[in-house]
């Protein structure tokens, strides 16, 4: 039995985005995954945080070349900011996979894989999935419903007994290729009173036969990626279609010790506040309306929250920092720093704005509130938008955005470390 500890919670519904902050005493038809955090237990290595985000944005925003399109998305993030242990097959074996809201399939490295990692510097034991050793596995063929719906119709040259394959090349040059299989996935289902029990669901996932680039390296290697995207091929869509859960999920992430829980399904209690999700976007985007600093609304251009093709604000647990356009970043920082006019700022590693401060940052700096559509307000305290790198040295988690949409406009991207109240 798993004890569901009280953690900060964000709920995202595929039809309606739900965002709120409260304890993770989840009740309802909910499946859960325990998650661990790559940077948990380590000192704040600023270069590592920034490098992680740069690689992730390359995958989020680059044009992806694919031999077979993966449900209209297929943007896995840099491996392993948050990862979970799942069970696959019968008998069930454990696999460590990145939990990613930006991709649309679950895939794991398979037996006989070419250039798949065999060890990980994260201290995890890696396992290759072998469909021949699972009594419940079956191959997915190109004429079956999963394959035709994933690729919006029959594949050219499809004939009986031809496997349904995938091959994705990402913007950073890494790639994953293989074929789809169907098998049991072991999950934890909430039973009430902060407890859960094991249950099984049948899902289709990718059996990785070949990896390259970062996906084949050992430094941050995992067994695969668990996609929580919006396409029908994603795990959340498959579980919802089978009637296991409703099509929603919740982040319950602990930003102090690292790790937490992903809850799949409708959270009945506690009650959550909702804001609509921007439709027809590749990622989970919501509409920001205003930013409040210390009780005062920032004076911003009326169209500042419309970032071109990528409309709305991207909420992304796979990004560590918060990236804001100059037209938001500069007035935000000016207002925050007006409370400490004598503060001596300095730059660390050519990109982080840092300062020496001996007192409580919550007493010395203002609270920031993000206002979203339908009157949803997210409160971010100073200890959440700053982080400590030495005993009395703090840095701001806000970054002047270099993240642009396809039409060249700076995007708003809210990540985890600087916005702990979100994640």
> Annotated catalytic sites, by residue?
100, 316
Query: With contact defined as beta carbons under 8 Å apart, do 177 and 209 qualify?
Result: yes
The DSSP secondary structure of 204-254, one letter per residue, reads EEEEEEEEEGGGG-STT--SEEEE--SSTTSHHHHHHHTTSS-SEEEEEE-
Dihedral sign, Cα of residue 205, residue 206, residue 207, residue 208? negative
Q: How far is CA 183 from CA 12, 163, 180, 241, 367, in A?
A: 26, 15, 10, 16, 48
Candidates 191, 255, 189, 209; CA nearest to 33 is 189
Q: Residue 249 burial (CB < 10 Å; 0-12/13-18/19+)?
A: buried
- For residue 199, give every residue at least 6 positions away whose Cβ sits within 8 Å of its Cβ, in sequence order, or none: 31, 186, 187, 188, 189
Give CA torsion, residues 183, 188, 191, 193, to 10 deg. Answer: 180
């Amino acid at each position: 039995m798993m004890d569901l500890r009280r953690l900060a919670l964000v709920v995202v519904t595929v039809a309606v985005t739900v965002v709120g902050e409260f304890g993770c005493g989840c009740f309802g038809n909910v499946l859960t995954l325990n998650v661990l955090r790559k940077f948990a237990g380590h000192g704040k290595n600023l270069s590592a945080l920034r490098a992680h985000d740069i690689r992730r944005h390359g995958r989020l925003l680059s044009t992806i070349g694919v031999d077979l399109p993966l449900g209209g998305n297929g943007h896995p993030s840099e491996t392993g900011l948050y990862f979970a242990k799942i069970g696959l097959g019968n008998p069930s074996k454990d696999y460590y996979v990145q939990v990613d809201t930006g991709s649309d399939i679950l895939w794991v490295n398979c037996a006989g894989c070419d250039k798949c990692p065999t060890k990980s510097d994260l201290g995890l034991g890696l396992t290759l999935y072998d469909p021949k050793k699972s009594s419940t596995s079956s191959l997915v063929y190109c004429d079956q419903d999963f394959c035709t719906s994933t690729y919006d119709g029959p594949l050219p040259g499809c004939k009986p007994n031809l496997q349904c394959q995938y091959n994705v090349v990402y913007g950073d040059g890494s790639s994953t290729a293989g074929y789809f299989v169907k098998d049991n996935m072991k999950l934890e289902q909430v039973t009430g009173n902060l407890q859960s029990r094991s249950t099984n669901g049948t899902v289709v996932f990718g059996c990785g036969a070949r990896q390259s680039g970062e996906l084949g390296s050992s430094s941050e290697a995992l067994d695969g990626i668990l996609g929580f995207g919006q396409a029908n091929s994603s795990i959340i869509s498959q579980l919802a279609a089978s009637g296991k859960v409703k099509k929603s999920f919740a982040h319950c992430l602990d930003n102090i010790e690292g790790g937490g829980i992903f809850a799949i399904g409708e959270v009945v209690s506690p009650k959550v506040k909702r804001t609509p999700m921007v439709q027809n976007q590749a990622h989970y985007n919501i509409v920001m309306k205003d930013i409040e600093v210390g009780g005062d609304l920032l004076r911003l251009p009326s169209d500042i929250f419309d970032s071109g093709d990528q409309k709305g604000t991207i909420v992304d647990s796979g990004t560590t920092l918060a990236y804001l356009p100059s037209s938001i970043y500069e007035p935000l920082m000016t207002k925050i720093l007006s409370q400490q006019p004598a503060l001596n700022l300095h730059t660390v590693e050519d990109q982080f704005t840092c300062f020496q401060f001996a007192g409580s940052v919550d007493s010395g700096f203002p609270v920031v509130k993000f206002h979203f559509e339908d009157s949803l307000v997210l409160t971010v305290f100073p200890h959440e938008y700053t982080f400590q790198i030495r005993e009395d040295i703090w840095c701001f988690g806000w970054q002047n955005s270099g993240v642009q949409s396809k039409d060249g406009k700076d995007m708003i991207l809210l990540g985890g470390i600087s916005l702990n109240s979100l994640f």
